[in-house]
């Protein structure tokens, strides 16, 4: 399973009024593992950024002036995402800008070049209803350090979102399944599942010396309590517990 975490930075908030993409970052996951294969471009938008957007990303017109135009990198971007599921935080925003750029080039919408688009903001709202679900808030919630993030950046945000996505969708995977997957080459067939019922776990019994030391500790507890400690109390049979509850 190949997935791409994608993020963009833009000159403003509205692609319909002429705002453009100025940065795109993509991080690859294969079978839920980071491969280290990333894609990153700064893009010359051929216009200035709005003051509010500039304060967020810090990418000045001067810095972007010698960077490639979107038309020059579009083919490489589409090749990188082709067939993969795309993971985006607040997907309508980024997809809207990508579609606007592709329309200018006479190309089909972005979704026609990739697999499923997964919106982590929608997922987060379902898991944490009524709470803040920005990328920063999710990093705090899952204990992911973003201390190095003073400004928004597409590649850095994609790397953080990859960690958030993996934490948020981890579920109740067992340690055994995790260990089976370690060391597997990207794209390799999944290792066979272990039949846990077939595993015979060793039982290590306490020695006589250890039992004597344990009983000595319990004797001291009994003396201090002037009675019998809970460690020596016999468990109440289940049927007696049920009867007591009904008679209460």
Task: List, as residue ranges, the binding site for substrate.
Answer: 7, 9, 57, 157
Q: List, as residue ranges, the binding site for a divalent metal cation.
A: 7, 9, 157
**How deeply is 204 buried, as exposed, middle or buried, from its count of CB atoms within 10 A (0-12, 13-18, 19+)?**
exposed
Q: Which residues are catalytic?
A: 152
What is the DSSP track for 105-116? TT---GGGGSS-
Give the residue ranges of the annotated binding site.
Answer: 7, 9, 57, 157
From the list 14, 10, 39, the residue with the least C-alpha distance to 22 is 10
The neighbouring-strand residues paired with 34 are 29
How far from 109 is each of 2, 90, 98, CA to CA, in Å?
A: 20, 17, 8
Please check whether residue 114 is in contact with residue 88, taking contact to mean a CB–CB distance below 8 angstroms: no
Instruction: Give the CA distances from residue 217 to residues 1, 208, 230, in Å, rounded to whole numbers and listed in that order.
Output: 55, 14, 13
Task: Name beta bridge partners: 100.
Answer: none
Tokens 């593992």, located at residue: 33
Question: Residues in the chain, how many?
Answer: 248
Helices in 105-185 by DSSP H: which ranges? 120-127, 135-142, 154-168, 175-181
Backbone dihedral region for residue 46 (phi beyond 0: left; psi -120 to 50: alpha; all else: beta): left
């Amino acid at each position: 399973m190949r997935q791409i975490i994608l993020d963009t930075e833009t000159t403003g908030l509205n692609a319909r009024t002429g705002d453009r993409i100025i940065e795109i970052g993509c991080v690859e996951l294969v079978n839920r593992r980071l491969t280290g294969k990333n894609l990153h471009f700064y893009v010359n938008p051929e216009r200035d950024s709005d003051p509010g957007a500039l304060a967020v990303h810090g990418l000045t017109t001067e810095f972007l002036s010698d960077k490639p135009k979107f038309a020059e990198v579009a083919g490489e971007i589409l090749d990188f995402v082709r067939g993969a599921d795309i993971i985006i935080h607040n997907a309508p925003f980024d997809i809207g800008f990508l579609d606007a750029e592709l329309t200018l080039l006479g190309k089909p919408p972005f979704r026609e070049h990739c697999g499923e688009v997964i919106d982590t903001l929608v997922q987060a709202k379902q898991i944490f209803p009524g709470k803040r679900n920005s990328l920063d808030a999710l990093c705090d919630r899952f204990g992911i350090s973003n201390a190095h993030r003073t400004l928004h950046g597409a590649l850095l945000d994609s790397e953080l979102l990859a960690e958030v996505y993996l934490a948020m969708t981890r579920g109740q995977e067992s340690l055994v399944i995790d260990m089976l997957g370690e060391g597997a080459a990207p794209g390799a067939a999944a290792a066979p599942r272990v039949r846990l019922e077939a595993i015979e776990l060793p039982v290590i019994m306490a020695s006589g010396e250890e039992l004597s030391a344990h009983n000595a500790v319990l004797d001291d507890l009994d003396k201090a309590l002037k009675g019998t400690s809970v460690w020596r109390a016999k468990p109440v049979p289940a049927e007696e517990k049920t009867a007591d509850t009904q008679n209460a």
